[in-house]
Chains A and B, each alone.
Chain A
């Protein structure tokens, strides 16, 4: 055998083992005593507790915080709702109870049974909500039949409501019941709790949710409440004030009408979103009451994609609106000067491809000012060749294109600003010179979101880029401010003052006498840029919009700011598959938004709005 270390057992060790044994026996003695205490001395009392399980735990759902517009108008709040709840174990005859209850509530017994089976592995004596949001007749019916309905009770819970319906739905988002994953991630949630599933509701969940409370209640044999033994009060969630101006928002919605598209209006001096319209929209109230399967399927299956927030998720070619970016690049890089003239004869032969100008007869000889005002494509084809795609892309990024703005909503898209590196990486192909011509007029691979275009024109207007944001401040129910959003400067145009002035002058004339005339306002100078972006290439003979199937029609863009010399609002409007170009369709929409904005400013005598504006404006 292998020699192993061996030592005799020291006597002291044996002694200590004995002491430990005595200690352990004492410990078991304590356990035995406690067993005697619980099972014999307190036994009857505890048996009584167990027999009916007299003590129930009822959770008190916290009321979610409200969401307000910048002037304190309610966008989202909660109201009390009567729910019929059932504790299956308290019914004497579950079938009979379900049948009776079904008759009172106008639901079939099968429907009711279905409801119970859906809840899955729930703890017994758990309250199952049989029907939410009872009307008054139903409440009375249950109250009067209380004695025939053991195990059934009424419970008042806060119900989320969106008084504006479809208005702002994409921004506000909606709530739904927590998923098992939500509960696993945060044990403070319980089955049946509401949680923000999209938009502001989701992004600011931790402020809005509040803290649930609870009651320990003693009940009788049929589950009726005898007395509240203990109560932990719930704490309502915080109120969030948005930067949105509801009046402006509604005016913008009205301007867009039932057309599919998006409008984003923001304050170029601080990035506050004043209005954000996405159409078509959906009704978040449907989610609050528990969306039905067929409703959900209809929403998801709708070809018009009402659930998609076009303002931040729609990626569209910017078309000619992109030209102010290219013009800035060209002037700043010195490939042209304000006097450089280029002849437009209606198109440009490049390689074996003929690039048309939108104006068949051509613009004749134009400088950069005229090219922007009349949106001459040929001028920008030429300029783009001199700049090269990589330089254009660099400027586009400075204007905030090609990357999410970080507005704080889910699933914001980045758009695409192509350059040689991008194409090599994404398409594994070299960049072809002809493609630069498409980029020059905001076509080809270029895509942007309406929010990005609003940010870009705001940047052109002020030279500064603020991160667009929706939340102004957050307050507790007691009115204590817990969070104030401060404007975040994310970029500054590093271009010469003269370059900016030349571009702005041209943008002013776009509205004054160019393609954007329909955006003109009385008494306030508007500067902007039209755009009409092709969805499909249609060859030389481009038919009229009305002759095309809807999904092949062009998108109409208009981006603008005003007043031209000291901008206080920037707006981007996009109409999908419009029955006309940016100047005809989108410019009047922006005009209406701006008109409303300045009208509101006047009626509010300036001071309300000015109060809400941040300090950065005064510095401007």
Chain B
């Protein structure tokens, strides 16, 4: 089955790879900058991130080596495995900062929610591909994906990890719209979900409530949740047109920025490279997005299109939420910036998604 088909190599998606390598390189240098110590030596975190990146490339290659249509067939298997991992996390996971999100594996910490996102996308593509036609999705065809989504979301919210849950929710919503859910239905769902919001609100952790309130009025809590957003905006804004230069960002170097190597890494980049650099980074993401859409629209079968689109939606919902949050356009929720944020699970999951996209791209002529 793993035949080396000449056409596969001929159709390898070089532009996609190039795009990814550029982003990965920029991400690594930014992690280096965000974590380097006063001694100007490479931080252990940056070295780890480099290892994660190499592992990610290997995972990407692994993800393109088989025919993606196998996923159509066994689409629910990764989903079930991911759900199991999430339950396991809730049971034996390691706590950090009050959250139970990780399973320790040797020296590393696995964050199952990152992989659950991927598995959910595969499962949704698997399901929707047999439902979508020319017409709009039936009510049932919308209900089942929501049922698939619910346990994943609940387990992640329980950790608690509002950011990842929101990112996954948004991704699912986008996939459903692409799958053919009508806007009328969206209104209907909103009418049902809307009244439940006060209930959800009372079940949010106090710090999560504060974050939402802070978004509405950042000055309300300048010592707590508002601090992040104020400092992040100062960091980004102080980059001006040209930036302060690599490793020269004072906001970052003086540790004003909290979570500078994970959720707020974009602020580090923006401070050091200025508007020109940040705009270029946005451009790189747009190129990647266009390339992903090309893959999706060129796929020969509906499953390929849906899968490619779902994976792209997964990546770009996160890019958008993360950047919008750092710039104060959206409330602060913890979401990683794909290719940039420090963290093995996040990077690995992103690279697997890219591998699958390449997989679909390569096989567009193979039948």
A32:B279 contact, CB within 8 angstroms: yes
Give the total of A residues in contact with B, Cβ under 8 Å: 55
Question: B330: shortest Cβ distance to chain A, in Å?
Answer: 10
Residue A536 lies at the interface, judged by CB distance under 8 Å to chain B: no
Partner pick for A12 among B72, B180, B293, CB 8 A cutoff? B180
**Roughly how many angstroms separate A463 CA and B97 CA in the complex, as a whole number?**
51
> Which of A47-55, A295-303, A560-568 has 4 or more CB atoms under 8 Å from chain B?
A47-55
Of A16, A39, A57, most B-chain CB atoms within 10 Å? A39
Q: Which residues of B contact A28 (CB under 8 A)?
A: 282, 285-286, 289, 320
Interface of chain A, main secondary structure? helix
Residue of B nearest to A40 (CB): B275
A4:B72 contact, CB within 8 angstroms: yes
Given contacts A30-B329, A35-B236, are A13 and B241 in contact (CB under 8 A)? no
Given contacts A5-B303, A39-B278, are A20 and B313 in contact (CB under 8 A)? yes
Q: Which residues of A contact B341 (CB under 8 A)?
A: none
B residues 142-169 with Cβ under 8 Å of A? Answer: none
Interface of chain B, main secondary structure? helix
B180:A38 contact, CB within 8 angstroms: no
Q: Which residues of A contact B301 (CB under 8 A)?
A: 6-9
**Roughly how many angstroms separate A45 CA and B227 CA in the complex, as a whole number?**
17
Of A1, A24, A47, most B-chain CB atoms within 10 Å? A24
**Roughly how many angstroms separate A1 CA and B296 CA in the complex, as a whole number?**
23
**Roughly how many angstroms separate A4 CA and B129 CA in the complex, as a whole number?**
13
Residue A184 lies at the interface, judged by CB distance under 8 Å to chain B: yes
Of A4, A9, A14, most B-chain CB atoms within 10 Å? A9
Q: Which residues of B contact A214 (CB under 8 A)?
A: 222-223
B178:A1 contact, CB within 8 angstroms: no
A residues 1-37 with Cβ under 8 Å of B? Answer: 1-2, 4-14, 16-18, 20-21, 24-25, 27-28, 30-32, 34-36
A43:B238 contact, CB within 8 angstroms: yes
> Which of B52-60, B189-197, B247-255 has 4 or more CB atoms under 8 Å from chain A?
B247-255
Question: B71: shortest Cβ distance to chain A, in Å?
Answer: 10
Residue B94 lies at the interface, judged by CB distance under 8 Å to chain A: no
B223:A43 contact, CB within 8 angstroms: no
Residue A141 lies at the interface, judged by CB distance under 8 Å to chain B: no
Residue A42 lies at the interface, judged by CB distance under 8 Å to chain B: yes
**Roughly how many angstroms separate A123 CA and B255 CA in the complex, as a whole number?**
6
Q: Which residues of B contact A16 (CB under 8 A)?
A: 177-178, 180
B residues 291-345 with Cβ under 8 Å of A? Answer: 293, 296-297, 299-306, 309, 313, 316, 320, 323-324, 327-329
Question: A452: shortest Cβ distance to chain B, in Å?
Answer: 38
Residue B219 lies at the interface, judged by CB distance under 8 Å to chain A: yes
Partner pick for B282 among A6, A14, A31, A216, CB 8 A cutoff? A31
Question: A187: shortest Cβ distance to chain B, in Å?
Answer: 7
**Roughly how many angstroms separate A45 CA and B286 CA in the complex, as a whole number?**
29
Residue B256 lies at the interface, judged by CB distance under 8 Å to chain A: yes
**Roughly how many angstroms separate A27 CA and B98 CA in the complex, as a whole number?**
33
Q: Which residues of A contact B320 (CB under 8 A)?
A: 24, 27-28, 31
Residue A230 lies at the interface, judged by CB distance under 8 Å to chain B: yes
Residue of B nearest to A16 (CB): B178
Partner pick for A9 among B302, B313, B328, CB 8 A cutoff? B302
**Roughly how many angstroms separate A28 CA and B129 CA in the complex, as a whole number?**
28
Which 7 pairs between the two chains have the least Cβ-Cβ distance? Answer: A46-B237, A50-B238, A4-B69, A214-B223, A39-B275, A47-B238, A38-B237
Pairs across A and B, CB under 8 Å, 8 listed: A5-B129, A7-B129, A12-B134, A13-B132, A31-B320, A31-B324, A38-B233, A39-B237
Residues of A within 8 A of B (CB): 1-2, 4-14, 16-18, 20-21, 24-25, 27-28, 30-32, 34-36, 38-40, 42-47, 49-51, 53, 55, 57, 59, 89, 123-125, 184, 187, 214, 216, 229-230, 232
- Other than the known A12-B135, A43-B237, A53-B256, what 20 A-B pairs have Cβ atoms closer than 8 Å? A1-B67, A4-B70, A7-B129, A9-B301, A10-B133, A13-B179, A17-B296, A17-B309, A20-B177, A24-B289, A24-B320, A28-B282, A34-B328, A34-B329, A35-B275, A39-B241, A39-B274, A46-B237, A47-B238, A123-B256
